[in-house]
Amino acid sequence: MDRVRIAVSACLLGENVRYDGGHKYDPYVAEELAAHCELVPLCPEMEAGMGVPREPVHLVGDPAAPRMIGNQSGEDWTVRVGALVRERVTQLGAMRIAGCVLKSRSPSCGIDGVDVAAEDGRLEPIGRGLLAAQLRRQLPSLPVEQERGLHDVGRREHFVVRVFAHHRLDGLLATDAADASAAWGLVAEFHRRESYLLTAHNPRNCAELDRLVAVTAERPPADLRARYADLYTETMRTCATVVQHVAVLQRILRDLRVQLTARTQEDITAAIADYRDERTSLVDVMNLIERQLETGGRSILGDQSYFAPAPVELWPCRR
Ligand code: SF4
């Protein structure tokens, strides 16, 4: 598959595009993400022709549909920036980006908590930047995070896993199928590889996906892939938890019991309990399971996304 593409606020990459001619270089985005993904920089304010250095702008009015106004001049940029972000988001969709990292608190890029001035001038941090709002409207399933969120290890891990899941799903949706039956085959095989990961994120939704794939084996609907994609995306929105990881590890043990000696089963059961009780890490249990299931140097679980949902360098849990 193609390299994963992520759209990024250009100032996070060290580009001098901020109103004061500076940048907001973020080492995680510019170095770690860049090492594994193709980053697509964008700066709505520069691209709308504001130039640099420039007068800063702020949001005014209805937080659901704010206007973008120059701080001193009162110049109204709403129409120009609005048209620009509509066009850019359409382009990003056509480029099949798998995620987006935006600068927090910006009237253009901020995802939430952006200051919006009421008519009486009072500022309330309840807004969303114009680009972030357009992304939400046009590409609602796209994983979007702000750089501040990525400083939290749990949020970063969830974002990265969602981005790579989105990319795999996009590969499924882009694969041609001769007819509805062939489309079902592609979905069923995809679901087999994603099943443990989906269960860790949302077991109830995964069970629904199991039913969708199983029930439609006889007469797959033409829109199976679209229905599967919607529920898959919703499932991955939920964070995996320790309790759900424990359930998945126990299920893997049950599924593969016949291939393991009684002694190995006991070792894995004990390791799962240690993980549940915070005496060992998830990755230690995963490594133990994979080692026991290796044949010819390859784990038979090697094609399961659960064991490699993202490159190991980007997935903190696995480092
Ligand atoms: S926050 Fe967005 S609009 Fe502002 S400088 Fe960065 S990329 Fe440009």
Q: Could you read off the pLDDT of 144-197 as tens digits, one per residue?
A: 999 999 999 999 999 999 999 999 999 999 988 877 788 889 999 999 999 999
Residue 217 confidence (pLDDT): 63
Residue nearest to atom 8 of ligand 1 (CA): 43
Pocket of ligand 1 (CB under 6 A): 9-11, 17-18, 43-46, 103, 106, 108-109
pLDDT band for position 1 (cuts 50, 70, 90) = low
Q: Which of 8, 11, 23, 25 to mutate to test the pocket of ligand 1 (most atoms within 8 A of CB)?
A: 11
pLDDT band for position 40 (cuts 50, 70, 90) = very high
Residue of 5, 10, 11 whose CA lies nearest to 24:
11
Beta bridge partners of 164: none
Residue of 261, 315, 253 whose CA lies nearest to 289:
253
Distance separating the N- and C-terminal Cα atoms of the chain: 24
Residue 267 carries which DSSP code?
H
Please tell me the total number of residues recorded for the chain in this structure: 319
Give the CA angle between residues 37, 41, 42 to the nearest 5°: 145
Residue 177 confidence (pLDDT): 82
Residue 291 confidence (pLDDT): 84
Kindly give the number of the ligand 1 atom that is closest to the alpha carbon of 19. 5
**Pairing between strand 5-9 and 38-42?**
parallel
What DSSP assignment string belongs to 223-255? THHHHHHHHHHHHHHSPP-HHHHHHHHHHHHHH
The answer on pLDDT for 221 being more than 80 is: no
Q: Over the chain, what is the mean pLDDT?
A: 92
182 vs 56, 151, 228, CA distance in Å?
Answer: 54, 43, 15
For the ranges 144-158, 281-295, 297-311, the one whose mean pLDDT is highest: 144-158
Residue 120 confidence (pLDDT): 85
Give the CA angle between residues 223, 137, 5 to the nearest 5°: 80
The answer on pLDDT for 130 being more than 70 is: yes
**Tokens describing residue 270:** 């004990």
The CB-side HSE value for 75 (13 A sphere, CA atoms) comes to: 10
- 292 within 8 A of 301, measured Cβ to Cβ: no
Beta bridge partners of 40: 7
- 315 within 8 A of 282, measured Cβ to Cβ: no
The answer on pLDDT for 317 being more than 90 is: no
The answer on pLDDT for 200 being more than 70 is: yes
Q: What DSSP element (H or E) covers 80? A: helix 78-94
Range from 14-23, 41-50, 209-218 carrying the lowest mean pLDDT:
209-218
Q: Which of 20, 29, 45, 84 to mutate to test the pocket of ligand 1 (most atoms within 8 A of CB)?
A: 45
* Alpha carbon distance 120, 113 (integer Å): 19
What is the pTM assigned to this prediction? 0.93
- 42 within 8 A of 9, measured Cβ to Cβ: yes
